[in-house]
Structure 1
Amino acid sequence: MIKLNIIAILGVVCMYACYKPVCSYFRSVGQGRRKGGTTASSVQDKNIGLSVFIVISAAALLVRLIAAIIYRGHETDMNCFVSWSDMVFNDGFNTFYKSESFTDYPPGYMYILYVIGAIRSLLGMAWDSVATNVMVKLPAIIADIGSGYLIYHIASKRIKETGAAILSALYLFCPAVILDGAVWGQTDAVFTFFVALMCYFITENKLIPSYFVFALGILIKPQTLIFTPVLICGIIDQVFLEDFNWNKFFKNLAFGIGAILLIGLLMLPYGFHDALGQYTETLGSYEYASVNAYNIWTMMGLNW
C-alpha cells in the first residue's frame, strides 16, 4: 500500500523553496557576465574565482580527511573493502569471484582496491589502523574533489568564476556527500564522478570519450546504467539530428562497440562468465524502489 511520508514531502518542499532564489542569483550573475567587461577585469575575476575554488577544495579535502580519521565508517562495508583489497592483491583477480567469500562488487572497483592492497602491503598497514581506514576512503574523497572541479569548470563557462566556485562549494560541502564517502566509506562518489564526466563530454559534443567514461563507470558500479538515457539522448542529438552522415554514424558505432569491448577486456582477468554473473546477481539483489533515500519513491511509501 502506498503511504505518503510527511518528512520526505517537507524535505522536497524546502528544496523547491530554495530553488527559485538560488536560480535567480546565478541567472543575474550569468547576465552580468554576458554584458562583458574589460579584459583586465575578466582576467582578475578569473584569477579570484580560481583562488576561491582552490581554497574551497583544500577546505573540503581537509574536512573529509578529518572525517575519515575520526569515523570508522559502515563497519560491514569497510571490512569488505579491506578484505577484498587483500584478496585481489594476494590471490589475484582470477579467484576473486570463485571464492566462498561474499563478493558483490563489480570488477572495476577491484582494480582500485588492488592498488590499495598493494600500498597497504608495502607500508605494512594493519587491518584496523587509521591509515587503512583513510586509504580505503581515499578513492571516494578524490572523486568528490574531482566532481567539484568538474562543476567549477563547467559553470565557469557560463557564469563568473566566483559564482562557479560557489556552485562547486554547494556540492563539496553538501552534508550527504561528505557523510556518504568520507564518513561512511561508501563508493558512490567514484561512479558519480564518471557519470558527471560523461555528461561533461556530451555537453562539449565529445561523444566518443563519453562512451569509454560510461564503460568505466559501469565497471565500477552498475548503478551507472541508470544514466543510460542521458547517453542515448546525446547520441540521438549529435549523431542523428545534427548534420547526420553515414561516416559519423559508423565512426560512433565503431567506438561504441570499442567501449563495450573494453568492458569485456577488463572482465577477462576475473573470468568473463564469473564477472558477468556477478553483475546479474547484484542487479537482482535489491528489489526496492528506494533504500532510505528521501526521493519521490519514499514519498509514496515504497522505501525498503
Structure 2
Amino acid sequence: MSDDTPRKGLGRGLSALLAEDPDDQPALDRLRVGKTVPIEKLVPNRYQPRQYFDEDELEALTQSVRENGILMPILVRRDGDSIDSFEIVAGERRWRAAQAAQLYEVPIIVKELDDNQALEVALIENVQRQDLTALEEAEGYRRLMDEFANTQEALATAVGKSRSHVANIMRLLGLPEAVKTLLQAGSLSAGHGRALLAAEDPEALANIVVRKGLNVRQTEALVQKPQKTDDTAKPADAGPSPIDDADTRAMEKQLSEKLGLTVKINHHGEVGEVRIAFTSLDQFDEILLRLSQQPDV
C-alpha cells in the first residue's frame, strides 16, 4: 500500500467509517437500513474497551428494545474467515439488550475493518458517548499505543480530546491495583486518581479519601501535606538547608528558566531534593514532557 493512501479509521470519526463518500446520501441511507441476521451469528468485540455494563442501564435499554426494537443497526465486521458470523465493533449494549429481550434477529451494518480500526471505532464510540470509566478509557488508549503504535497526538485527534487529557488519563494506569479498584468501582473519580499519583503512599491516602468523602481539592491538599510516620524524627524539610551557596541558587535559576516553573533545591551534604512547584495538572504534564525530551546531540 502506498504511503499516500489515506488511512481509514483513526481521526475520521464514526460517520466517516459508515460510508466511503459522506456526500453519497443514498449510500448512507442504505447503510442505516442495514440488514438483519439471527442474533446468534454475532460475537462480542475482542477489543471491547468497556469492561463493565451497568445492570440498571442495561435493563432500561432492554425494556426499550422490547417496546421499540433496535432503532440503530449494530456495526460489525466479518468474524475471521466465516461468511455468516460477525464480530461486533460498536453496539454491544444493544446486542446484550436484544438477547435479554429474546429477539431472534438484529439489524447490522457490515464494514471491512482491521484490528486497529476495530479497536479505534469501539473506543471512539464509547468515549464520545461517555460510556467508559476513566480506567477503561486509559486502557483503550494504552492498547492503541502498544498494539498499533499510535501516538498520543493521533489518539487525541481521533477521539476529540486534548493531548494532555489523553496523557493525564493514561497516567492513572500507574496507580496501585487497590486504588484502581476504587476508581473502577466509582468510589474515586479520575480527578482523585490524578491527585493521588503525586502521593508517596497512594493506597493509604485513597482509603482516607474514601472514608472521609473528600473532594478532589481536599485530596490534592492531603497529598501536599507532609505525612508523619512513627520513625520520623523530624520533617525532612525542617529549617533552611545548611548549604545555600551561589552555585545552588544558580542551578535553581537555570532549572526554573528551563521548565518555566519555580524550582527549589535543598541539600544536606551528599543528599537532598529538588522541588518543582506546579499549579495545575496541565503544568505537571508539561514538566513530564520536557523532562522526557532527549537532549540535542
TM-score (norm 1): 0.26
Higher relative contact order (CA 8 A, sep 6+): 1
> Rg: which structure is higher?
2
Instruction: Please identify which structure carries the higher strand content.
Output: 2
